[in-house]
Structure 1
């Protein structure tokens, strides 16, 4: 039985929803949520909030004082916050994870650690396989931003697992979150009035609905599932299919201009295109999820296409029109099927 759970990153939507769900579980006696800023109280349910910066040693005191037995690390951030630069983001992601794992290593009560990672660790290049498995080495390992942070975090997590073989360590590589409550660089991109695309490329994209992501996190927090797992909705969508469904006009631009447009958008607080996002928008990425489905005896409720449909409906991007009608009017089939490699139209 799981007794006391620590969830990091509860000021963000997915972390808050997970903490609230765990707090409502009768097998969980206590959930402590930590972050540098508190979330809205209505999102936490029965979670006890503690303000802690993971970069400080204070997290060890929280784990020791509460006799934590399960840690769910949700605190990785994918883009710098307003007023904070890239260096602060890296410190939060990497140094914060190091401090958390050091506290877990010293703890006599922690027996399960779940870490949220990302499929961005595989990178995006024209030489990628059609599907990445958990054992596939990236052709071009990430060297920038969030993806590089995630690679470093995974390295520290593997080191922790070797030093504490008695602890069940689960690493979850999520595709881009999608759903009504998700606020991320990719969702902000689709909410812009005009969408820049990389000229000559039509990348394959893969999403995981927030409900499916939270269910996988809940299961791995409550059960022992040691290892690394890709998590995504079934199928893929071409960017062109996403754009048609969102009903947005596009501006195809050369890749250098795409980055410049992203910098301009960031300067006015709209969005940011990091180098890894530029690579994703050029070459795409898809992962195989057979391992997590077999391990958990689980199947996502939302395909990639269904997750995207739920997102655009929640923001009324279809203006009340059924998604299937939009597909028909656009002259495209239902997205999310087996689109093959489908990487680029005239460019690799």
Structure 2
């Protein structure tokens, strides 16, 4: 018999794309799409269950559907279809994960658990390594936010793995996901017509294309034949400076004093720019880069999209910004010619 895979966060963009891909995967008989909101983009052959993973009822879903593989995608920096503020996000991430793992521990059919995390667990400060890897443990910032959420989530996952040694556990630490339809905080940030930056800083950024994330998730579901248990950094090769990204988008930048960044998210929301939390700007100070060596070893090579290629595909879907690079280049050339004539 084939696998029965339960996917949380199915109403979000990434969850919907993964469910559609998984329904075509050989060896998977049934896909159970779970979310508190009804998914709108999952195929008819998926079993849709509308429930909140923060409630004990998720244990009944696992048992009734005889689930053997749990893929937990409902770990995010924004509330998404749930609505609500920071408190709701923390409940979904931390309490939802705790409830889900507790349910999985009680259901004997569960053989595999895959959980997404974030490279934000490595922190973003001048004291952190220039390039991090899986040997570095999570860093839970005292200020809280999504980075602290994923550090707590990974702590619960490690505890579950110790209590259930017969269950294969895989953790995928994702860099910022970009693609034409991506709905994460970094995608929302780059969709702003003008990009606020932190005065005096030009951070290194790293991205992963949504297609690569889906492929890695599918490989993880395949188990030892695809991606064995363990913790993996998932990021495209290379880096981009924020200034380079802004130029490639044709977006002007507005430097803001670092002391004002905690309020930037509220200011942007007041102007109708949802999805960009104030904590996002902490990552725009020093940036964060991971090596991704363990994943490349497991896959036999790098991901299909580099950081630059993932960003280029995302940028192409936005169209020209206020300062298209070609127009800006011609303007600079004209100024240079005028200066020489003068």
Return the TM-score normalized by structure 2: 0.89
Q: 1:48 to 1:327 in 2, by over 3 A?
A: farther
Instruction: Give the 3-state SS of the residue equivalent to 1:44 in structure 2.
Output: coil
Q: Is 80-89 or 9-18 further displaced after alignment?
A: 80-89
Q: Distance in 1 between matches of 2:216 and 2:318?
A: 25
Instruction: Give the 3-state SS of the residue equivalent to 2:28 in structure 1.
Output: coil
Q: What 5-or-longer segments of structure 2 have no aligned partner? A: 333-342
Q: Distance in 1 between matches of 2:287 and 2:178?
A: 16
Q: Distance in 2 between matches of 1:11 and 1:166?
A: 30
Q: 1:276 to 1:50 in 2, by over 3 A?
A: same
Q: Tell me how far 1:330 sits from its aligned partner.
A: 10
**CA offsets, 1:75-112, max 9 Å, x none?**
11212448512212111111111111011111111111
Residue correspondence of structure 1 range 1-348 to structure 2 within 5 A? 2-41=2-41, 43-44=42-43, 46-81=45-80, 83-137=83-137, 141=141, 143-224=143-224, 225-271=228-274, 273-274=276-277, 276-317=279-320
Q: Tell me how far 1:253 sits from its aligned partner.
A: 1.4
Q: 1:104 to 1:250 in 2, by over 3 A?
A: same
Q: CA RMSD in A?
A: 2.2
Q: Say whether the 8 Å CA contact 1:124–1:140 is kept in structure 2.
A: no
Q: Distance in 1 between matches of 2:277 and 2:179?
A: 22
Q: Tell me how far 1:298 sits from its aligned partner.
A: 4.1
Instruction: Give the 3-state SS of the residue equivalent to 1:261 in structure 2.
Output: helix
Q: Distance in 2 between matches of 1:294 and 1:213?
A: 16
Q: 1:188 to 1:330 in 2, by over 3 A?
A: farther
Q: Distance in 2 between matches of 1:38 and 1:128?
A: 41
Q: 1:110 to 1:245 in 2, by over 3 A?
A: same
Q: Tell me how far 1:314 sits from its aligned partner.
A: 1.2
Q: Say whether the 8 Å CA contact 2:188–2:276 is kept in structure 1.
A: no
Q: 1:330 to 1:135 in 2, by over 3 A?
A: farther
Aligned length: 327
Q: Distance in 2 between matches of 1:139 and 1:166?
A: 28
Q: Say whether the 8 Å CA contact 1:2–1:69 is kept in structure 2.
A: no
Q: Distance in 2 between matches of 1:63 and 1:253?
A: 48
Q: 1:139 to 1:52 in 2, by over 3 A?
A: closer
**CA offsets, 1:208-237, max 9 Å, x none?**
000000000010011231110100000000
Q: Tell me how far 1:137 sits from its aligned partner.
A: 3.7
Q: Say whether the 8 Å CA contact 2:197–2:284 is kept in structure 1.
A: yes
Q: Distance in 2 between matches of 1:137 and 1:51?
A: 35
Q: Larger Cα Rg: Structure 1 or Structure 2?
A: 2
**CA offsets, 1:20-50, max 9 Å, x none?**
1111123111000000112224x43532110
Instruction: Give the 3-state SS of the residue equivalent to 2:38 in structure 1.
Output: coil
Q: Distance in 2 between matches of 1:317 and 1:155?
A: 43
Q: Say whether the 8 Å CA contact 2:134–2:233 is kept in structure 1.
A: yes
Q: Is 182-191 or 274-283 further displaced after alignment?
A: 274-283
Q: 1:143 to 1:298 in 2, by over 3 A?
A: farther
Q: Say whether the 8 Å CA contact 2:59–2:103 is kept in structure 1.
A: yes
**CA offsets, 1:233-265, max 9 Å, x none?**
000000000000000111111112333333211
Q: Distance in 2 between matches of 1:330 and 1:51?
A: 54
Instruction: Give the 3-state SS of the residue equivalent to 2:26 in structure 1.
Output: coil
Q: 1:36 to 1:330 in 2, by over 3 A?
A: farther
